[in-house]
Amino acid sequence: MTCGALPQPTPHLGHLYTAVVADAIQRYEKLIDPNCNIIFSTGTDEHGTKIQQAAAKADIPLPDYCNNISNEYKKMFHNFNVDYTDFVRTTERRHKFAVKHFWKKLLKKGYIYKSKYSGWYSVNDESFVPEAHTKDEMINGEKVRVSLESGHKVEWTEEFNYMFRLSAMKTHLQEWLRTDGVITPSKYQKQLQELLENEGYLPDISVSRPSSRVHWAIQVPNDDEQSVYVWLDALVNYLTSIGYPDEDVMKSKGRPWPADVHVIGKDILKFHGIYWPAFLMAANWPPPRKLVVHGHWTVDGKLPWRLTLTTARRSW
């Protein structure tokens, strides 16, 4: 039982909603079986360019900035009685150990290789965006390139990175996405199926960044010049919560994997519905049994920077 690693900056109603939905699911399961052993994990994603920039703008040291944000999330969950069993911060030592172990496993199996990479990069989304998924748009009188998916500005970037062989996982992903009800509501499952059906959609993806550009990150094992891509880092938090890679700890938790359900917002569907199962399959781990995806909370049909309980409405 997990909800998506929570993004920065400070928490708003959309973050709370994700956790409340996950909490409602676990409370229902406990009503049916009071002896049910549930791991309900949430947490904060604390690495990457966005965090570097936000801390610099606030003129706060990075560790202090992350501590402050993490405490705000915990306070919010406490105030709304969200009864999680584990809160994973991606800056924790146990998580860094899990990420490096997972990386080495993918590398050993031949799914990670180093190559020069170029493409449109969105700082806000922390990801490269295929050119077919971008467009030109006028913003404040300036012509800029933006992502079709998020509307965020993208910039052309060329650099040497480690790549993940996502292209090798296309057939496996298609088979997983044919599982009835694996993603709910079903329209989100259909979206991913359509993406995979588009010829050429599934290129290999960059899973590292130059440490000179993204220094607030987990270092790639045996390569200090590269840092682990924030979304590979963040997604491994689900394994961190079950004690990975310590076999004894995982056994003590019963059958902790695959996760029965991930609860996420639709903005991170691609990362959880394409990247995450592909990473897991490459490491010979089963993907989660189900993704529960919710829409955005809006004010007057728009996505505000922050939301209040009294002015927001849910948009599927």
- Domains defined for the chain, CATH in brackets: 2-315 (3.40.50.620)
Q: Give me 262's structure tokens.
A: 């991930």
Residues 6+ apart with CB under 8 A from 9: 54, 69
Q: Give me 288's structure tokens.
A: 């989660």
Q: Give me 316's structure tokens.
A: 């599927």
Q: What is the pLDDT of residue 233?
A: 97
How far, in whole angstroms, is CA 86 from its chain's centroid?
17
One digit per residue, the tens of pLDDT, for the chain of length 316 reads 555 544 445 788 888 999 999 999 999 999 999 998 899 999 999 998 889 988 998 999 999 999 999 999 999 999 999 999 999 999 999 999 999 999 999 999 999 999 987 788 887 777 778 787 888 888 877 888 998 888 888 888 888 899 999 999 999 999 999 999 999 999 999 999 999 987 666 889 999 999 998 999 999 999 999 999 999 999 999 999 999 999 999 999 887 899 999 999 998 999 999 999 999 999 999 999 999 999 987 766 665 544 433 333 333 3
Q: What is the pLDDT of residue 307?
A: 42
In order of 157, 239, 299, the CA distances from 285 in angstroms are 32, 10, 40
CA dist., res. 74 & res. 71, Å (int): 5
CA dist., res. 241 & res. 3, Å (int): 12
How far, in whole angstroms, is CA 45 from its chain's centroid?
8
Is residue 71 classed exposed, middle or buried when 0-12, 13-18 and 19+ CB atoms within 10 A define those classes?
Answer: exposed
User: What's the pTM?
Assistant: 0.85
Classify each residue of 88-123 as buried b or exposed e, where b means 16 or more C-beta atoms within 10 Å of its C-beta: bbbbbeebbebbbbbbebbbeeebbeeeebebbbbb
CA dist., res. 258 & res. 116, Å (int): 34
In order of 60, 87, 271, the CA distances from 12 in angstroms are 21, 17, 21
DSSP SS3 for 183: strand
Find where tokens 């990975």 sit: 244
Q: What is the pLDDT of residue 164?
A: 97
**286, HSE (Cβ side, Cα atoms, 13 Å):** 11
Q: What is the pLDDT of residue 180?
A: 95
CA dist., res. 162 & res. 111, Å (int): 10
| DSSP secondary structure, 122-173, as one string | ETTTTEEE-GGGEEEEEETTEEEEEETTT--B-EEEEEEEEEE-GGGGHHHH
